[in-house]
Amino acid sequence: MILFKNAEVYAPLPMGKKDVLVGGTRIIAIADHIELPVGVEGEVIDATGLKMIPGLIDAHVHIAGAGGEGGPASRTPEIQLSRLLEGGVTSVVGCLGTDGMTRSVESVLMKAKALRHEGVSAWIYTGAYQVPPPTILGDVGKDIAMIEEVIGTGEIALSDHRSSTPTTAELIKLTEHSRVGGMLGGKAGIVNIHMGDAQNPFQPLYDAVALSELKLTQFLPTHCNRNHHIFEEAKTYGKKGYIDITASSYPFFPQYEIKPSKAIVEFLKAGVPLEHITMSSDGCGSLPQFDEKGNLEQLEMGYPKSIFDELKDTVAEEGLELEKALAVITSNVAGILRLPGKGRIVAHNDADLVLIDNDFNIHHLCAMGKMMIKNQKMLQKGTYE
Ligand SMILES: [Zn+2]
């Protein structure tokens, strides 16, 4: 057992100063005053002066590598455990990207299994940019229904020069299979959309919904802050559907992108409900910059820590309450993607806890009830780190 004493808990809603008892992989109790049961061995951690927040959920990471758009040497490597922990990330959703040709959903699945062995929680999307998408069992619905780690489909590219530009009928069929697979498997079955920067980028989603019984909430379009044009459209779209902000690319393309912390506040000001907003890193994704003729100019790579850095800026620079800023990377994600036991500090949920000081330094991190960072020292590293 682990007993955290006197932490200021943000669950993400503020609960005040509490003691939090962890046993096995779960949170056992949260109360004003808890002592370790007599005769039970356990560790007591004094959390005085620290805030306890839920472990962050990064729901769009190319965990098995991505990229390759600048030739073989531009392929990005797999994620390492420390890259998640340094950003307070205890849950991750992996996906393929542009390269559904030389990379496979199988490799993403096995990387998710590896990350689970290393101590964090991991799921995946089946598919890639292309439609029809690569799958493991031959159909996105079958993958979602029958493979425990698969929770949805993605990232499907729309409105982008790298998209296979699915017809409305193809997009409806794919989304319907994803939804039914989700119903059969008890999952969200959501379709994660790579939103490109073509004219009227959200139009394919509006069309799919207009010509079917699907709802916009069956989609989770990402990169909604990638340029001012998409950002403005997302303010309207986000009132009915979910929108995901990408955190890692802004520092490389500040001339095009909306800073994620600003995007959160601007979306709220525009009337987008907080529950509709999520933020992910696009970690391990290559960040290509093309010139006017479509030639590759520059490649960078993203990291999960970007969502933690933007959390800090949303609070420290934009002045948003911590509980609201936290929701977009904890409870909202767990709710939209239906990740059981995640995203909130409540009894019986998984013990994914991060303890930070007022300057957003991570002092302790507990994932599935195991201390991974203690007194600012990383105790656990990936198998090959
Ligand atoms: Zn993408």
Contact in structure between 109 and 102 (CB atoms under 8 Å):
no
Q: From the CA of 47, how far away is ligand 1's center (Å)? A: 38
The two structure tokens encoding residue 347: 């009894």
pLDDT score recorded for residue 12: 98
Q: From the CA of 105, how far away is ligand 1's center (Å)? A: 16
What DSSP state is assigned to residue 150?
E
Backbone angles phi, psi at 10, to 5 degrees: -115, 110
Same domain (yes/no): 313, 247 = yes
Q: Is 337 helix (H, G, I), strand (E, B) or coil?
A: coil
Q: Is 117 helix (H, G, I), strand (E, B) or coil?
A: helix
Residue where the block lists tokens 């200021």:
8
Identified catalytic residue from 282, 309, 313, 350: 282
The two structure tokens encoding residue 79: 């994620």
What is the tens place of the pLDDT at every residue in 184-243? 999 999 999 999 988 889 999 999 999 999 999 999 999 999 999 999 999 999 999 999
Same domain (yes/no): 102, 137 = yes
Residue 384 domain flag:
no
Same domain (yes/no): 178, 323 = yes
Contacts of 237 (CB under 8 A, 6+ apart): 202, 205, 216, 221, 224, 243
CA angle 114/278/158 to nearest 5° reads: 85
Q: What is the rounded CA–CA span in Å between residue 165 and residue 63?
A: 25
The enclosing domain of 142 has a CATH number of 3.20.20.140
Same domain (yes/no): 60, 49 = no
Q: From the CA of 189, how far away is ligand 1's center (Å)? A: 18
Q: At 221, which amino acid appears?
A: P
Residue 175 lies in domain: 56-336
% of the chain residues with pLDDT over 90: 88
Beta bridge partners of 75: 67
Same domain (yes/no): 243, 230 = yes
Q: From the CA of 216, how far away is ligand 1's center (Å)? A: 19
Q: Is 282 marked active-site?
A: yes
Contact in structure between 88 and 353 (CB atoms under 8 Å):
no
Contact in structure between 293 and 315 (CB atoms under 8 Å):
no
The pTM of the full predicted model, rounded to 2 decimals, is 0.96
Same domain (yes/no): 78, 227 = yes
Q: At 138, which amino acid appears?
A: G
Q: What is the rounded CA–CA span in Å between residue 24 and residue 331?
A: 22
pLDDT at residue 294 tops 80: no
Same domain (yes/no): 280, 374 = no
Same domain (yes/no): 256, 295 = yes
- Report the pLDDT averaged over residues 10-16: 98
The enclosing domain of 362 has a CATH number of 2.30.40.10
Q: From the CA of 294, how far away is ligand 1's center (Å)? A: 17
Same domain (yes/no): 107, 38 = no
What is the tens place of the pLDDT at every residue in 51-60? 999 999 999 9
Same domain (yes/no): 140, 276 = yes
Contact in structure between 20 and 11 (CB atoms under 8 Å):
no
Same domain (yes/no): 266, 148 = yes
The two structure tokens encoding residue 108: 């993403």
* Rg of the chain taking only CA atoms, in angstroms: 20
Residue 99 domain flag:
yes
Q: From the CA of 223, how far away is ligand 1's center (Å)? A: 7
Same domain (yes/no): 18, 163 = no
pLDDT at residue 293 tops 90: no
Residue 385 domain flag:
no
What is the tens place of the pLDDT at every residue in 110-124? 999 999 999 999 999
Tally of CB atoms within 10 A around 72: 8
Split into its structural domains, the chain has a count of 2
Residue 383 domain flag:
no
Q: Is 93 helix (H, G, I), strand (E, B) or coil?
A: strand
How many angstroms from the chain centroid is the CA of residue 370? 21
pLDDT at residue 372 tops 90: yes
Q: From the CA of 350, how far away is ligand 1's center (Å)? A: 29
Contacts of 229 (CB under 8 A, 6+ apart): 197, 201
